[in-house]
Amino acid sequence: MTSDNDWEQRYQAGQTGWDRGETSANLLHWIELGLLEPCRILIPGCGNGYEVVTLAEHGFDVVAIDIAPSPLDNLQAMLATRNLQAELIQADFFTWQPEQPFNAIYEQTSLCALHPERWAAYEKCLYSWLKNEGLLFAQFMQTEQENGPPFHCEIEEMSALFSSEKWQWSEQYETQVRHYSGKHEKLYCLEKQS
């Protein structure tokens, strides 16, 4: 199981194969469709945070959290060069609590980076961080492999994890963006039910 310290070591060593070096086309798709409009939004496990920059450019009130300091330093430098603002937090999101809930959460690579034993705890965090009827923009990684990270997020397993008692599901589209390794995500917008 990947330890919290391993993520900083990976950044220090340049072992960041998940980092595309640009904003995910999936986020841009949601913005272009008008499904994701300026609001208070959280990005857990933000990494180098290209999406943070894009959302800030589009007028969002962005809060980004990561356990590793190096990507947050990189992100702060990117924001500064563009004269943009976002709240950056170095913390373990399993122990962190926001001062106020969010209108939306953008979940890109945190879930698939976590060992499946931690998924239920992460789902509880996401649920608690959102306002009632807040939106979770989720990208569920499809690896077709047993081991990780990234871990395969089988949609049937995701629908049990994000149960209909707590979440209303809406499929937006299956991404055509392929990772260098052939992996891809399936995109869903989930609305928190009170």
Q: Kindly report the CATH number assigned to the domain that includes residue 75.
A: 3.40.50.150
Name the average pLDDT for the chain. Answer: 87
87 in any annotated domain: yes
- Grade residue 142 by pLDDT with cuts at 50, 70 and 90: confident
Judged against a pLDDT cut of 80, whether residue 174 lies above it is answered with no
Q: Per-residue pLDDT tens for 81-125?
A: 999 999 999 999 899 999 999 999 999 889 998 999 999 999 999
Range of the domain at 55: 25-192
95 in any annotated domain: yes
Distance between CA atoms of 28 and 133, rounded to whole angstroms?
Answer: 22
Average of pLDDT values for 175-180?
A: 57
16 in any annotated domain: no
Q: Per-residue pLDDT tens for 4-46?
A: 567 556 545 555 455 566 688 889 988 988 889 999 999 999 9
97 in any annotated domain: yes
- Looking at the structure of the chain, the number of domains it has is 1
13 in any annotated domain: no
76 in any annotated domain: yes
Average of pLDDT values for 168-182?
A: 65
Q: In what order do the strands lie in the sheet with 61-66?
A: 87-90, 61-66, 40-44, 102-107, 130-142, 184-192, 167-174
